[in-house]
Amino acid sequence: MTESELTYESFTNDPFQDLIPADQTKGASQILEWAYGNFGDSIIYSCSFGAESMVLINLISKVKKDAQIVFLDTGIHFQETYDLIDRVKERYPELSIKLKKPDLTLEEQTEKHGESLWKSNPNQCCFIRKIKPLEDVLSGASAWISGLRREQSPSRQNTDFVNKDERFKSIKVCPLIHWTWDDVWDYIQKYDLPYNELHDFQYPSIGCIPCTSQVSSSGDSRDGRWAGSSKTECGLHTASDHSK
Ligand code: SF4
């Protein structure tokens, strides 16, 4: 595949679907080399600053030192997450790390939609605070990077390295699809990478405060997200429109 050949419009299938990764990074480095070669400055990493993000940031920094990274700052994240972002900025000063805020402040959201929208209508809350902001970010980009792994959940098992993203009319590149939870932590420890301190207190998956809880035993789990509700995804990785 040559530079700039692949676009949302021209996408038919993952150009790496036959790749059997044998390298240490399970294909991730090769995919990132290709992605930055194909999309140049027009690819954005939408980073949650979870454990997978620490791996991806490290791998990306080896391919493109000044890569664009965006954190969807809902305004309801743990202080530990904001502290981690500061530590990552110190470790990788050349990366462009930006925090994208929603149009509505929390106060404006309460005024318009009532108290604790994350309880009364979490899909609408995610739409306002995550999906719409990412739409805005991706409107000027050709592609984006995500840290999805196939073993995370049944809905992620069919994720490819390169995906046509109908939700955002974009190309979604997922370099870590073959990584296990143990792979992620082995890499973090091997390279002494920073990570969110909450991971040490049985928070395997960390998002907004109201929708994140401790799990009974640490492991590869998204159980601590939207606990007690049927919601399992914020909508960034599903095709449906959760704006209502
Ligand atoms: Fe709102 Fe919870 Fe979604 Fe955060 S994760 S945007 S608080 S519903």
**Bridge partners, 44 (sequence order):** 68, 144
Active site residue 234: yes
Could you give the 3-state DSSP secondary structure of residue 4?
coil
CA of 116 to the centre of ligand 1 (A): 10
Nearest CA to ligand 1 atom 3: 126
Where would I find the H helices in the chain? 28-39, 51-63, 79-91, 106-113, 117-120, 122-126, 132-138, 181-190
CA of 56 to the centre of ligand 1 (A): 23
Condensed to tens digits (0 to 9), the pLDDT of residues 9-18 reads 999 999 999 9
Determine the CATH number of domain 24-211.
Answer: 3.40.50.620
Mean pLDDT of the chain: 91
Condensed to tens digits (0 to 9), the pLDDT of residues 65-99 reads 999 999 999 999 999 999 999 999 999 999 999 99
Residue 8 has pLDDT above 60, yes or no: yes
